[in-house]
Amino acid sequence: MSDLSIEEGGFLLINKPREWTSFDVVKKLRNICRIKKIGHAGTLDPLATGLLIVCYGKYTKKIEGVQSQKKEYIGTFKLGQTTPSFDLETEVDGNYPVEHITPELIELTLAKFRGDIEQVPPQHSAVKVNGKRAYEHARKGEVVKLKVRQAYISKFDVNTDKLPELSFLIECSKGTYIRSIARDLGKALNSGAYMSSLIRTKIGDFHLEDAVNMVDIVTQEDFFKFANQFSE
């Protein structure tokens, strides 16, 4: 791999492991490939897995454009319970009735979550508040005020065969918090909900099935072998 090729850069599609932060992936790859100019295009929560696009060299200038593309996720919501983080990072803190929740009620309620929506990010999120990440405040027991954000849900399909667990497929705009959808859907159903699993399957025209696992990237040669498949 020449210095010129490193400078020109490219993309690397990663299947982010569970319990890794997105920055953990970048830090590990930076150490392996020995490139300083490297970053990711769109954060995934530590407990989520799936497609993380890493850009290096001149392609770091494309990060904003990649981040702005439509995302697709699959996962599960657990109805009838809540957690402070809206996922499994924290313990269940509330139990709610689910006997009244039917597939018909869910489908009627989902209409409120398609198209343009407003949502508040989770307290346990990477949003910056007073120079610190919101999750840093949350882990200290501090509640911070987070601004309402706009999002667009182009597709929201569910499978109700295993209620009170709800499988879903969501296509959405940049900046959409799937955990916040779990919280808001639970409330809209006069119950509670948290996100029990999440996999990002697509970003624009990039697909998870084309991504590489971190365990397969051990050397600089491994990095460029996989990255070169996606460079222009």
Residue whose pair of structure tokens reads 């702005």 in the numeric block: 68
What is the C-alpha separation between 119 and 38, in angstroms, rounded? 31
CB under 8 Å to 200, separation ≥6 — which residues? 16, 44, 48, 49, 50, 51, 52, 71, 72, 73, 208
SS (H, E, C) 128-185: EECCEEHHHHHCCCCCCCCCCEEEEEEEEEEECCCCCEEEEEEEECCCCCHHHHHHHH
The residue annotated as part of the active site, out of 3, 24, 45, 184, is 45
User: Which among 162, 179, 216, 224 has a CA at the least distance from the CA of 15?
Assistant: 216
Residue whose pair of structure tokens reads 């697709």 in the numeric block: 72
Active site residue 216: no
- Element spanning 78, H or E: strand 71-79
Q: What is the CA radius of gyration of the chain?
A: 19
The counts of H helices and E strands in the chain are 7, 14
CB under 8 Å to 24, separation ≥6 — which residues? none
Active-site residues, by number, are 45
